Chain A
Amino acid sequence: MSITIKQLSKLYGNFRALSEINLNIQTGESVGLVGLNGAGKTTLLKTIVGLIVNFDGEVLINNRVGNDREAKSHISFLPEEFSPPLYLTGYDFVSYMLRLYSKGLNKNEVDDFADMLGLQKNILSQPIRTYSKGMRQKLGLLATMLPVTEIVILDEPLSGLDPGARAIVKDAFDTLRKKGKTLFFSSHILTDLEEIADRLVIIHEGKKTFDGTPGKLRLCGGRSLEDAFLQVIRSNQTL
């Protein structure tokens, strides 16, 4: 299940949010998307999942147009700073999301996954309005990772989580990678990305400036991955 992006450009009025992005993500790859604030990360992810429909270029999910119902049935998406409907319970929300994929709720499976994410089972019966910010994020992750979709796209999935919760989520990512799922996610935290991504894509001012392994990025200079990232941004050349 692959993602192919050809010559993707997006304008907001006169502001060019994305400029001729070409990207190919193969089945089973785990790809991290990095960039400064306003670089175009969220715009790119939203375009892939069909939230942005006015753009130039092409987005294909397994050779089908990204907005197509069949293509959407292979993708699950977690938006940034998302909050589930406050008056549903955790189980209701997960069941709602699964049923939209024509799948029923298997409570044991949900409980196991919730356990893996450090979300107590009893909390899933409570209305979401009683959850903390971190618990809402975990519920979002649970609902995104649980459906049997081959592609999982997450916008800043680790934001709002404490170090303990981040470690748990990274383990969950590993489980998904082992299952052969294709992962594409954005993050600001490069050290986290190094652990969970096979490949990093850097975008700066709407342009793709780097595409390669974390090891390749390290070769760009500096003492840390963060230094190397900044070198790439400053040099502003496509690598």
Chain B
Amino acid sequence: MSRIGIVSLYTLQEVRRDRLFWGFVPLIFVVVAFSFFMRETTFVAGAEAFNRSYIALTTLAATVFIVLLVVSSMYREIDSKAIYMVITKPLSRYEYILGKFIAFSFISVGIIVIFFSGAVMLRVGPVKPLAVHYILTTFEQSIMIMAAMTITLGLRSLPSTILGVAGFYIIGHSTKKMVDIGVEMAKGWVPLLKVFYYIFPSLSFFNAQEAVLEQKPVSWSDILFPAGYAGVYLAILFLILAIDIRKRDF
């Protein structure tokens, strides 16, 4: 097995014994219970309230959960100096990053599969739009994992890291709205605003919630642009992290 695979394997071993990881089980119950609560307490279109709530909450819960796992695991490794034992072995710092990223991506895919299966069983929407939505969520999660790793390794302070990752997520979901407002208010600035649109993380690409709820037609090709965007954004984040970690004194 390659050294990247070894780092991934033991990261998974550690995470699966982490109490935080098992917090996922009550989280599922909370999400489903809250969605039922929304259905029962909404007078009009109760089923739609349930579906809307389930999709929004699963997307948010999956992201918050994976980010917490990444930050806590990486921070603990830095704080306890366990990272020193690993990166002084015959592996490069890039291999270490990639190993960690693969392990967390694997967990992320597992979480998304569970939420997707739940959505199908609870008949939240047609299967194909649901599949498209949760595939897009996986892309968003991979960006959030890489961002959380970059910020944790860069800042090495828990409060700053949490603020940094939360800021990244909020900016990611606000960029589109901010650019739309900007386009309305300052038409001359449209080209510049469009540049901002792509430079800042635009996490609104990774959402097919409306297609699920309004049963709009979706095609697999709807995934292509977000996949490309996610790939480019991941490469940029990896480059930032790689440059930072290569030149960093531990």
Report A's interface with B, CB cutoff 8 A.
46, 49-54, 69-70, 72-73, 75-88, 92, 96-97, 99-101, 127, 140, 143-144
Contact = CB atoms under 8 A, between A and B. Distances in A.
Nearest to A95: B10
Interface residues of B, number: 28
A100 B15 contact: no
B149 to A, nearest CB: 16
Given A54-B249, A72-B90, A85 B3 contact: no
A51 B14 contact: no
Contacts of B92: 69
B10 A96 contact: yes
B82 A84 contact: yes
Interface of B: 1, 3, 6, 10, 13-15, 17-18, 76-77, 80-82, 84-92, 246-250
B250 A51 contact: yes
A69 B6 contact: no
Contacts of A73: 90
B90 A87 contact: no
A84 B90 contact: no
Contact of A49 (B1, B82, B88): B88
5 contacts: A50-B87, A78-B85, A83-B80, A87-B15, A92-B13
A96 B84 contact: no
Contacts of A143: 85
Contact of A87 (B18, B85, B86, B246): B18
Contacts of B89: 72, 97, 100-101
B48 to A, nearest CB: 41
B249 A140 contact: no
Contact of B88 (A75, A81, A83, A88): A75
A140 B6 contact: no
Given A51-B250, A92-B10, A96-B6, A82 B81 contact: yes
B15 A83 contact: no
A84 B17 contact: no
B90 A83 contact: no
B90 A101 contact: yes
B83 to A, nearest CB: 9
